Amino acid sequence: MRLLRLLALALFASAVAQPARAQQWSGGGLNVLLRDGRLTISTTQRTLIRGAVIRFGLLDPARVSVGASTPDRLTLELLYPSSADAPSGQATNPNGDGADRPLTATVEITPVAGGIRIHGAAPWARHLAIDMDDLGDHAFGLIEWLYPDNRRSPDLRGQVVPLDIEGQSSRLMENFADAASAFYMSSLGYGSFFDTFARGRYTFGVGGRTQIYHETGTLDWYLFHGPDGSAIHQAYFAVIGAPKHLPMWALGPVVWRDENRGGSREVLDDVARFRDLKIPITALWIDRPYSRGNSGWSAMDFNDLFPHPEIWVRTLRETYGVELMTWIAPAVFSADDSFPGLFRNYVGYFDLSNAAAVAEFQRRVSTGQYAFGVRGHKMDRADEYYPLYQRWADSTPAEAQRNRYLYLYARVSDDMLKRAWGADEFNFARGAYHRTQPYLSAVWGGDSRSTWAGMAANLANGIRCGFMGFPVWGSDVGGYLGVGRIPEDLYARWLELGSWSGLFEVKLDGAGGSGEDRPPWKYSPRLQAIFRDATAQRMRMLPTLYSLANTSAHTGVLMQPLAYAFPRDTATYTIADEFLLGGIFLVAPVVAPGESRSVYLPRGRWYDLAHPTHTLEGGRRLTVAAPLERIPVFVRAGSIYVTGDVFAGSRRGWTPAFGGAPRLTIHAYPAVAVGRTRFLYLDAADGDREKPITLATAPDRLRLSAPPLSLAGDVDVHLLRAPRRVTLGGEAVTPAFEAATRTLRVPFPAGQDLVLVVEF
């Protein structure tokens, strides 16, 4: 045995002593250089990763050599010290024979759309780290919760970030926001995705190094590159799958109570009062308790406070135009012999990898809810008191259980809903992890406090969520934790934030039904008017929101952080109170008392949405007015968006003729001098066909074009000077130019190619 050990060590020393030569390989638009066992990865413009060392078992490789190199694959052979030299518990001898021999691993680098994949495995390793040089870049993403110390800035440089869903029982954090992902973006212009559910830890620019660590022996690392976050996410979604389709009703105003103590009567009364105030809503959801069984939930049906759901759910839809959703959880809150696959803990979570448990979950919800018309769910509790170190039916290891449980919850919920409703359904959750995007409609930002600080922190949660690639995010408007009634100015500002968010849902009472209610009819006429305006604005924006949400695989997340859209602008890195909706609107919510706020405008020209004749040059910070009735919103030059009252919702209650012929308005904001932009319009009246609307700008003319649209409407072009000549489809038209607003309006018919040319 001693002779064999000496021979192995001699061979190892001989291999290490051989000089290593540099090896160059290119794929996925990236260049990979191997030199002295370290990887440098770059584009033609800049270095993204330098000095990367792959440390299976947390060991430094003694040698890294090229096994094969072809245009579509680079194979690396890694040689490590013997298992006896590994720190305790971090590497084991693969043969289990106690022999002391060098350890090996094979890694392959292959091109993918927009980047590369670096993958391999070492069965002998239980831990894996990738160490790389600190290049002075800034990192964004990984976690939604405010880290460290409830800090709002999304910039993670200089931090060591744990990556594991721990739930509110074991982590003190603002808002209990619990979305996470092994994905981060760098200010150098790349996205890093480590495809594992195993818990991890990320270190950014500490002691001259950056490190990715996960508790696994499998390497599956993607690097995507692009000029901005939307381009990087396009490559990311090509790997994990396109985000889930959203129905239009789910993007309108949604209301709910923490407890409907009056049962179905209170639900119908709330909707009727919204109708009387002419405040439009499109959906409502009911929180626990509403069912029979443990904690008002475990039977997963409707209890005696909600009798005859076949009647009142139909009334919501057919009389009021409002869809119904419910709260659900992957738990029955006690031991329940009638439910298979329960884990052993007091909450009664069930194993989502257990086919019998999933089947029973679906049976109860289908017969108790879908049969009566429930079309969506708020998904709760999967991240809260999850029992770690349980035996799963599919043997998921403990180090991956918490993170993977959120993924399975989204996938199971999506499957249940799709079986009942196809694509006409919606689910949203507080806890989310990467790869849930194809199964989860939206993320809500956790249990925020009903205060100014709670709203500001919740918006910072949303900014972080955008970097991770969760396309649709929203908060509990009005907050969750605290009293029912809140000050009117705080309520107004939260409504305005909600109306410009990806998900717009409004809470009508305090936590647990505590405190005085806060529906609009219990506030002043001024607040009611602000409520009405916020929801009406939301309804007009549905064509744009519907298009953005359902093309996010190509166009990026809805609420884009400023550093996401302007990664080279260092002034954007710490901003947590502004975002770009769809890359079009710079939205600056007011998160403190007052009627003005400081706004940072990135470089370029910006139009004041409330006063389109007022343009501003960016690259600076300025103080702008913010009367209580509106928050500052600016439109980026070179943008297109579409508005129109195309969906009735509850407005059918006071506008019986709504089902007539709605009209669209295409809004065009030309680039400063020369430019080309495109808005990907999703035509809901034509089978959701993607129809690009393009705008090309030159010094003496502009051209707007689109394929035939299902609805007629108007093109509104915001100009800095009057046009000389206007043609539509090659035919001259008399310009209708309103000098006071500098707006050119040209009607267009449905069903015909749209080509509008404006000459100066």
Lowest mean pLDDT among 277-281, 546-550, 655-659: 655-659
In a domain, 299, yes or no: no
Question: Is residue 170 over pLDDT 60?
Answer: no
In a domain, 517, yes or no: no
CB 258 within 8 A of CB 510: yes
Question: Is residue 94 over pLDDT 70?
Answer: no
In a domain, 82, yes or no: yes
Tell me what percent of the residues of the chain surpass a pLDDT of 70.
93
In a domain, 546, yes or no: no
Confidence of residue 482 (pLDDT cuts 50, 70, 90): confident
Question: Is residue 604 over pLDDT 50?
Answer: yes
Instruction: Report CA 294 to chain centroid distance, whole Å.
Output: 33
In a domain, 39, yes or no: yes
In a domain, 387, yes or no: no
Which domain range does residue 701 map to? Answer: 663-759
Q: pLDDT tens across 579-602, in order? A: 999 999 999 999 999 999 999 999
CB 353 within 8 A of CB 392: yes
Query: Which CATH number covers residue 196?
Result: 2.70.98
In a domain, 56, yes or no: yes
One-letter amino acid of 592:
A
β-bridge pairing 283-286 and 254-257: parallel
Q: Which residues contact 41 (CB under 8 A, 6 or more apart)?
A: 30, 31, 32, 33, 47, 48, 49, 50, 52, 116, 223
Question: Is residue 171 over pLDDT 80?
Answer: no
Question: Is residue 479 over pLDDT 90?
Answer: yes
Question: What is the Cα–Cα distance from 417 to 415, expressed in whole angstroms?
Answer: 5
Average pLDDT of the chain is 93
pTM of the model: 0.94
Q: pLDDT tens across 660-716, in order? A: 679 999 999 998 888 899 999 999 999 999 999 999 999 999 999 999 999 999 999
Query: Which CATH number covers residue 675?
Result: 2.60.40.1180
Question: What is the Cα–Cα distance from 431 to 426, expressed in whole angstroms?
Answer: 16
Question: What is the Cα–Cα distance from 490 to 271, expressed in whole angstroms?
Answer: 23
Number of domains making up the chain: 2
Q: Which residues contact 611 (CB under 8 A, 6 or more apart)?
A: none
Confidence of residue 188 (pLDDT cuts 50, 70, 90): very high
State the average pLDDT over residues 300-323: 98
Question: Which residue, of 240, 258, 279, is where some domain finishes?
Answer: 240
Question: Which residue, of 225, 240, 255, is where some domain finishes?
Answer: 240
Q: pLDDT tens across 514-528, in order? A: 667 899 999 999 999
Question: Is residue 654 over pLDDT 50?
Answer: yes
Q: pLDDT tens across 727-745, in order? A: 999 999 987 899 888 999 9
Question: Which residue, of 240, 263, 294, is where some domain finishes?
Answer: 240
State the average pLDDT over residues 483-499: 96
Question: Is residue 7 over pLDDT 70?
Answer: no
In a domain, 157, yes or no: yes
